[in-house]
Amino acid sequence: MRLRHRILHRPWGWLCAQGRALRASPLAFYQMLGRRRDWVVAKVEYVHSESAKWRAAWTAIKLPYTALRAMGLNPQMAIGLLVAGSTVGGGYAAAEVFADRSFSRGDAGVYSAPLDTPTFYSEGDNTLRVDLGSTAVGELTIENVTVGTAFTGSTLPSGHTSVISVGGTAASSGFTATWLEVGHLIIDRWRCTSFSMTDIEAHTLNIRYNASDGQSISPVAGTPRARAIGGGNRADSMITSGGTYDMIVIGAPTSNVNGKVDVLRLSNLLTKGGACKLSRIKAGTIDVEYLEVGAGNGFATKEFVVASSTVYKIASIVDNVEVSISPP
């Protein structure tokens, strides 16, 4: 009881003392408040000064990496060069570990579009996966990357045979099928061992200027509608350039929820060790141009396949040639 009385009495006593000081000498009371104010301001200024010093030090540590990225190197190449041959060495590697991973920087991981940071990643998994859903994305671009076993030390994830997989998900036990809805799908300058398009609907289908070690192009005419992805407050674009991945997956993995992206651009992809597959896509326009596809086993085996389950309303299928092409 006595302790509680002291706890309550002390704040009240302090307030009374401040009141008496103000009544006795308003000027002295003001000067006392000024001294306390100056003490607080000095501490705040000190914290700001220390923060600026740490930011400057961090910028200096990252300077070699920033310079290499400005020269056009992707994040993996820049880190490898610094760790292997630079005086920065492990110091920058530590900075990189603490830096946030992001799609725009070219980091592997599982991304729920349109988020730029991964929802999941593992140091032992080099797959780039983008999950699309009901939130429409304005533009999704992946360009200038190497995928599969086309670079030293890479292997496909266990149980997978495709290096690139783009599209919806087929129905299975307890799962309702999904589609990937695209306004304009641009596939250009891929290098693949094999390439296939199945279960596709496109208002306008352009398959032009592709070379393959054997091809079977047999889409059928139908009535797919013209399509674009709007939706008002559409999400920001997702764009990345440069990088090396074991596998790229762009899909709609949520049961009965179609993925939506207005412009999907996949350009200049070098792949090896597995198939490049497009499936379960509904698009306004699909452009497939300047691909080189082949396993080096002759024209009898068809590595470039556009199946009869691909349906179009308008098509331009020209200048696709068979030539001897081996994997990179």
Say how many C-beta atoms besides its own lie within 10 A of residue 266's C-beta: 22
CA distance 248 to 165: 6
Question: Where does 193-246 show beta strands of DSSP type E?
Answer: 194-208, 211-212, 215-217, 220-221, 238-245
CA distance 248 to 252: 14
Per-residue model confidence (pLDDT) at position 90: 39
218 or 10, which is more confident: 218
CA distance 84 to 167: 38
pLDDT band at 230 (very low <50, low <70, confident <90, very high): confident
CA distance 221 to 227: 17
Contact, 249 vs 128, CB < 8 A? Answer: yes
The pLDDT tens digits of the residues spanning 134-188 come to 789 999 999 999 999 887 777 888 888 999 999 999 999 889 999 999 999 999 9
Closest CA to 293 of 314, 271, 264, 317: 271
Query: 172: which 2 tokens?
Result: 């299975």
* Residues contacting 94, CB < 8 A, separation 6+: none
pTM of the entire predicted model: 0.70
CA distance 302 to 217: 10
Distances 28 to 20, 176, 287, 328 between C-alpha atoms, Å: 11, 77, 81, 84
CA distance 54 to 66: 17
The pLDDT tens digits of the residues spanning 239-298 come to 999 989 999 999 999 999 999 999 999 999 999 999 999 999 999 999 999 999 999 898
* Residues contacting 209, CB < 8 A, separation 6+: 289, 290, 318, 319, 320
Query: 126: which 2 tokens?
Result: 């080099």
* Residues contacting 101, CB < 8 A, separation 6+: 107, 109, 117, 118, 121
Query: 118: which 2 tokens?
Result: 């991964």
Contact, 124 vs 216, CB < 8 A? Answer: no
Question: Where does the chain show beta strands of DSSP type E?
Answer: 109-112, 127-131, 137-148, 162-167, 180-192, 194-208, 211-212, 215-217, 220-221, 238-245, 247-251, 259-272, 275-289, 292-293, 304-306, 310-318, 321-322
Query: Is residue 229 scored above 60 in pLDDT?
Result: yes
Distances 90 to 71, 82, 85 between C-alpha atoms, Å: 21, 8, 10
Per-residue model confidence (pLDDT) at position 97: 41
pLDDT band at 92 (very low <50, low <70, confident <90, very high): very low
Query: 293: which 2 tokens?
Result: 């596809």
